[in-house]
Structure 1
Amino acid sequence: MQPSWNLGNSLDAIPDETSWGNPPATKQLFDTIRAQGFRSVRIPVTWTDHQSSSAPYTIDSAFMSRVKQVVDWALSDGLYVVINVHHDSWQWISKMPADHDNVLARFNSSWTQIASTFKDEPRTLLFESVNEPQFDNATAQQKTQALDELNVSFQRIVRSSGGQNGQRLLVLPTQGCTPSHSLMDDLSATISKLHDPNVVATVHYYSYYPFSVNIANGTRYDDNAQKDLNDAFARMHDTFVAKGIPVYLGEYGLLSWPDQNHPDRIERGEALKYFEHVGYAARQAGVVTALWDPFAFLNRSTLQWRDQELFDLMKSSWTTRSGSTSFDRIFVPKSGSINDQSLTLNLNGLSFQGLWQGDSKLSEGSDYTVSSDQLTLKSAALTRLVGNRSYGDNATIEARFSAGLRWKIHVATYDTPQLSGNSANINSLTIPTQFRGDQLATMEAHYEDGGNAGPASWTAFQEFNTSFTPDYSGNTITLTNAFLSSVRDNSRVNITFYFYSGAKVTYHIYRSGTSIAAWAD
């Protein structure tokens, strides 16, 4: 089944298939997915708005037929297919602790109907009991018991429903599909008592949280983020795979990245490193990975990848590694001397083959040097690459390795950004900004007493696009209502904006009622 892809935000959309902006799924969509090298698809399904909310909880026949049509299109392309009970998890299943009997009855009725409809489908169709299960107002023990009861009931219903369902692969989740040690141990205990050889464990992985959303200074795919991924896949392997229980990573990606409607909260090269690492770690752990794609990767209207380079890297990671450097940008000052600059090579078991600009190979020694894992661009080469030093990217060079894809390094000219004062109300504050070739990495906010300011009170470094967002073409940085309304009344906040060049700019706001005054140093 490796690799896999999610038809996200379609049959799981609320209330209807096209409600969240995607066109209806087509046979051509699955033709494309198969042709691109995917071997399986997950088709999330939300049944709530197509089902009676009272006994006998009948699922609308037209919707059931539509689900079957989409499933059959995928199966006809030779794809393995996973269907599930998706957003129903928080719409009504989460109420199980307070409404146990009715929730269990509805869950059982849902799976009785689904199992009956699909019982004669080939075993390349898998059933997943419930997506990211959660339970309201319950203790940890009650949550464990509730999920165990649902998973056991699901297995019993499907196995007794006839046809191919007696041996169909059944996919069982942890709470929230979280890959923590304790929750995977709970699922392992459930699987053990079922004594069923055709059961698959499922979890999701969206990376180390500070990096995934760019909060708490999580601007880089650093050692913490890499360790988080390595540890998660090691737990999947040790808890399940090593014991002969397959693992289906039903969703992976980065939270809100890419986002077609906002600036990238994660620097592009850092995101590429994450996706490359997932492919490698999955192969090492023996885990099937399903890319969560709500619309951000494959354009379902044109059936083209929105970012071919990103997809090419993912595809390469299914079979080999690719190298990279500690950052994919080198910033050269607008004026003054240009000095040598160094990057660390991430060889990933490969050998470094050199640097190219287009078809021209740069000269080792005069243009760059390599010492151990340190790649140094010489001042003469950088001077040539930046030309007249206009702001922004002046040149792109490629690092090539013995395998995998080429790694792009962008050479840019910058000056320290300049911010201007302004005033507004707490709806939002627009800060006139001259970025001068630089890119915003994060924002730190403190009250005068040193306390953290912003909606994420546990950290001074606020969340990108939630508390602040840049507009490079519009030459502004916006402080959002979420940030401004969280600021204490009659308080001053000292802000530091951090840029990827290493530049830092301080800024200040003062809230008085709903009015905001703002000024730069």
Structure 2
Amino acid sequence: MTLTLQGRTRLRLATIFTALLALLATGAIGAVSADASPQGCHVDYKVTAEWNGGFIADVKVTNLGDDLDGWELEWAFPSGQQVTQAWSADIASSDADATARNLSYNSRITTDETVSFGFAGTWSGANATPTSFTLNGVLCDGTISDPSVTPSPGGELNAMETVAAMEPGWNVGNTLDAIPEETSWGNPPITEELLDFVKASGYKSIRLPVTWTDYIGEAPDHTIDQARLDRVTEVVDWAIERDLYVLLNLHHDSWMWINATPTDHDAVVAKYDAVWTQLADRFKDHSELLVLESINEPQYADATDEEGDAYNDELNRLFHEIVRGSGGKNADRLLVLPTLHTSGEQARLDALTATIDELDDDMIAATVHFYGWWPFSVNIAGGTRYDENVEDDIVGTFGRVHDTFVANGIPVIIGEWGTLAYDYTRPGIIQHGELLKFYEAVQFQARDKDVTLMLWDAGSFVNRNTLQMRDQHLHEWFVSSWTSRSGTASFDSIYLDNSAAIESRSLTLNRNGLEFEGLWHGDTELAEGSDYTVTGDTLTVTSSALTRLSGDRAHGVNTSIEARFSDGMPWQIYIIGYDTPVLADATGTTESFAIPAQFTGDRLATMESVYAADETPTEPATWTPFKEFWSTFQPDYEAGTILLKPALLNELDDGQTVRLTFHFWGAGEVAYEITKNGTSVTGSAL
């Protein structure tokens, strides 16, 4: 990332790549003494290729200090990776620690000169980027300084550097913010082992959402329950012990009592004051790795946006006054202030800018949340694809927060991000390849705009019972996207109609600035010309290759191939055989109606619902015929049914024929009709 140093007097030149967790190696060969000449260095570490269990990395070391004659670079792998082969350096490794030494021909590095080497390695579970490098015992943090000085994590960082050191971040969602208990929403209690796993997975910070409501006493003292305060402190301490930044907040309190500010102003403000006074006092001596956030998603009942901005300004200012006035390390701790609703709209950004400018405090960060273009994020209104609407929303939001805040020296944390509908218990709402494009694009924009992301995870990414990733391939995309782009294509599947002859099929490559390097089937490289052709950005897989790859053309995924690019993750392309799905007549009720369905290898993308008489959209959401996936309909591939939900059925007009059009990824449209009479529903295939 590139730091923009405008408008903040404390900002100083530094490279943020290794700002956190940097410990100088002791006893290193060639370590520089305190009276040695100035030294400094910068390391660019990049994974250039990655596959299941293996990777290739390129390392560039730039000497910023006096000339070196002989060098030794040391680092620790955060995920336990191992080096198996090296070039342009002699690399030795023991457990997680690795040391690269010069060869005879590249031993000398003059000032501002760069030396490069590379290696192949293995990984298991995660392939997180090393966070700290030392060159001849000198920390490679991009500065030129007395090499005897060893910076401590967090303590010497300004606001921009602190926020950058928190990237990437992870939310312990639906846990201490659950109501009323930590386990009430299905997640197990937070453990030290969970934080070890999160750290080993490559995350540098956690956001710890806490809902305090049920643990706050009556007025006027509003005393926080001691056991609750001790439990939160315990988790904060565990994270800090692991050199993880912690972002602590007031979470669902925003809608449980803070939203009553317009109608119960004085009582809410008094309660807010009391709660933050106690929290500030409890944590005032904690490490600078603790960061405080005033309110999660602030909202104020029945207030206009302008009124809401004013209430938000008042509470943000009160939070700032309380924490700064509590003394200790709170006097200089990073504080995080949200926009109204944590919205990325320009008017909301401008309102928060006014607050921050008037506070005139250079240890403040802004925060917004980002869940993407709503129709795509929940799959409504036909939002099944990563299209221009989705991309424009990403580019626009990140551009606004950069230009409003970052370009003026105010760092930004996207305190929550993802898609609203992603949930491991509700698979298929967003098609997997389209989801990967979204995640890749968001993380690129964050890197490009110098913004820190904190993934919202309520249990869908990390399985907290087994301490495993629920989708390892998806996690590998996250890890790759922390440092590089990945190429994609217009779709991740080629559906082959089993009733038709196999013909050549084309996809559009989205290179994302990378070079396309070929198609592979497992460990076998496919032959350009006979197996595939590339014309411009059009990749065409030949009929002969598809015939061979599809084998006996069974229903479902027959095999997969991957498009490899010069960096990042390969793009998986699934070869899928199908026949047109067959739906059957059915009867049921508005509370339980299932359409028997032979999916025959195909998958459902979306559903339209209109009255047959005039083709007007039915409820709910009469502004679109395309209904929201899962809340109104749900495929059950194992049971062989499509469930229609009460949210749809209860809203239909009695006696009116409703035409449903199911859109499948392979077969396209399949029609069906239903009629409701009272609580009874009948359906028939068309």
1:97-496 matches, within 5 Å, as: 97-257=262-422, 259-447=423-611, 448-496=613-661
| Counterpart code for 1:210 | P
2:210 aligned partner: 45
Contact 2:421 2:430 in 1 (8 A): no
CA distance in 1, matches of 2:483, 2:424: 29
Query: How far has the Cα of 1:122 moved from its partner?
Result: 1.5
Q: Distance in 2 between matches of 1:91 and 1:184?
A: 24
2: distance between equivalents of 1:26 and 1:184? 36
| 1:507 aligned partner | 672
Gaps in structure 2 of 5+ consecutive residues: 1-165
Structure 1 residue 502: deviation in Å?
4.7
Counterpart CA distance in 1 for 2:273 and 2:667 is 57
Higher Cα Rg: structure 1 or 2?
Answer: 2
- How do 1:47-126 residues align onto structure 2 when only pairs under 5 Å count? 47-126=212-291
Residue in 2 that maps onto 1:517: 682
Structure 2 letter corresponding to 1:406: P
For residue 490 of structure 1, report the CA deviation from its aligned partner.
Answer: 2.1
Does the 8 Å CA contact 1:263/1:471 hold for their aligned counterparts? no
Displacement after TM superposition at 1:139 (Å) = 2.3
Paired AA for residue 519 in structure 2:
L
Using the TM superposition, give the Cα deviation of residue 379 of structure 1 relative to its aligned residue in structure 2, in angstroms: 0.6
Measure the CA separation in 2 of the matches of 1:141 and 1:262.
37
Residue by residue, what CA displacement relative to the aligned partner does 1:494-517 show, whole Å, maximum 9, x if unpaired? 111001115210111111111111
Checking the alignment, whether the CA contact within 8 Å between 2:497 and 2:666 is kept in structure 1 is no
What amino acid does structure 1 have at the position aligned with 2:642?
Answer: I
Kept after mapping to 2: 8 A contact 1:263/1:469: no
- How far apart, CA to CA, are the structure 2 residues paired with 1:362 and 1:369? 10
Q: For 1:509, what is the secondary structure of its paired residue? A: strand
Using the alignment, how far apart are the partners of 2:284 and 2:291 within structure 1?
11
SS in 1 for 2:329: helix
Q: C-alpha separation between the residues in 1 aligned to 2:605 and 2:495?
A: 14
| 8 Å Cα contact 2:581/2:667 also seen in 1 | no
Deviation at 1:450, TM superposition (A): 2.1
CA distance in 1, matches of 2:246, 2:529: 53
Alignment partners' CA distance in 2, 1:502 and 1:161: 64
Deviations 1:115-147 (A, max 9, x none): 000000121211100000111122222211111
Deviations 1:147-201 (A, max 9, x none): 1100011101111011011111110001111111111111111111111111100
- What secondary structure, in the 3-state scheme, does the structure 2 residue paired with 1:278 have? helix
**Does the 8 A contact of 2:579 with 2:667 survive in 1?**
no
Residue identity in the other structure for 1:211: F
Distance 1:25 1:419 in 2: 45
Q: CA deviation at 1:350?
A: 0.4
In 2, distance between residues paired with 1:518 and 1:269? 33
1:236-275 per-residue CA deviation (whole Å, 9 max, x = no partner) reads 1011000000000000011130x23223200111111111
Given the two structures, how large is their TM-score scaled by the length of structure 1? 0.99
Paired residue for 2:101? none
> What's the secondary structure of 2:361's corresponding residue?
coil
Give 3-state SS (helix, strand or coil) of 1:490's partner: coil
What is the distance in 1 between the residues matched to 2:503 and 2:377?
33
> Is this contact kept in 2: 1:468–1:479, CA < 8 A?
yes
| Aligned residues between the structures | 520
Whichever residue aligns with residue 453 of structure 2, its letter is T
TM-score of the superposed pair, with normalisation by structure 2: 0.75
If each structure's helix is expressed as a fraction of its own residues, which one has the higher value? 1
Contact 1:428/1:484 (CA < 8 Å) preserved in 2? Answer: no
1:33 aligns with 2:198: yes
Preserved contact between residue 263 and residue 470 of structure 1 (Cα < 8 Å)? no
> Equivalents in 1 of 2:449, 2:279: separation in Å?
32
CA contact (8 A) 1:4 1:289 kept: yes
Q: Which amino acid aligns with 1:322?
A: S
Aligned counterparts of 2:639 and 2:293: Cα–Cα separation in 1? 46
SS at match of 1:231: helix
Offset, 1:324: 1.0
3-state DSSP class of the match of 1:90?
helix
Does structure 1 conserve the Cα–Cα contact (< 8 Å) formed by 2:296 and 2:338?
A: yes
Tell me if structure 1 keeps the 8 A contact 2:169–2:454. yes
Distance 1:382 1:483, change over 3 A: same
What percentage of aligned pairs have identical amino acids? 51
Q: Which runs of 5+ in 1 are unaligned?
A: none
